[in-house]
Amino acid sequence: MKWTSRGRSQNLEDRRGTRASGLGRVAPIGLGGLLVLFVLSMVTGQDFLGMASDPGSGPSSVGPAESGPIATTPEEEKLVDFVSFVLDEAQGTWAQLLPGYRPAKLVVFREATDSACGLGQSATGPFYCPPDGTVYLDLAFFNELHRRFGAPGDFAQAYVLAHEIGHHVQAQLGTDRQVRQLQQARPDQANPLSVRLELQADCYAGVWGHTAAQRGQLDMGDVEEGLAAAAAIGDDRLTRGRVAPDQFTHGSSSERVQWFRRGLETGRAEACDTFASR
């Protein structure tokens, strides 16, 4: 991607030098968390996926938060500048598309941090917490995206953040609340509804990608990086076919690519109605 450092966004909070206050209830599963929890379930025989979906399953908080100096590198600081740039660019897009859009916050942390959704951990991957309107990101996930998921490149990283901002858009529009209500009313449809929600966030990420292309910010190969990232974190790829489609929570690789591409090609939020199209 073509980008320049503009300093840190006013919507970015750096908690890399802060330790979480303790063990809270588990935060929502992020992009990378499904794989980690699935492997743990297979190895130990415990239902870690079920625990993650149950807000009351985690132990309670213990002890105060601790702060200290940030041990970092020039490369990591450049990465923080990059996610800050993408954060402001993506939210600038939605501010133009949605009248009254209120920006999300982004918390950058290491290992674990407190959130309004409970304890956020690196193992859950990046996630969005609706109660506090905040995206939580451990930068180490980008190494996982490259090494474990085979999706390198800065636009792949930008896709991850833009996807989480897509969830914030859903919260602004009331889509997230409506889906949660439907899931409570129809537990048998909880997973299919989750898939539709995730695919819409993929499409919204593509909408931002479309505007980035119009601004001349994409290099040759960037779109392929984003599509590769979307494919790499499909439920079927993450679980290597061990989970049936009716148990998917984020969508298959082909579905994620399809909806991300739709947003990229159309640049219209109206084209992202996964609930009517699937």
Question: What local confidence, expressed as pLDDT, does residue 58 receive?
Answer: 38
pLDDT tens profile 86-118:
999 999 999 999 999 999 999 999 999 999 999
pLDDT tens profile 223-265:
888 777 766 655 444 444 444 454 545 557 788 888 999 999 9
Contacting residues for 260 by C-beta, under 8 A, at least 6 apart: 159, 202, 203, 205, 206, 209, 226, 227, 230
Question: What local confidence, expressed as pLDDT, does residue 138 receive?
Answer: 94
Q: Which residues of the chain have pLDDT under 70?
A: 22-69, 230-251, 277-278
Question: What local confidence, expressed as pLDDT, does residue 31 receive?
Answer: 55
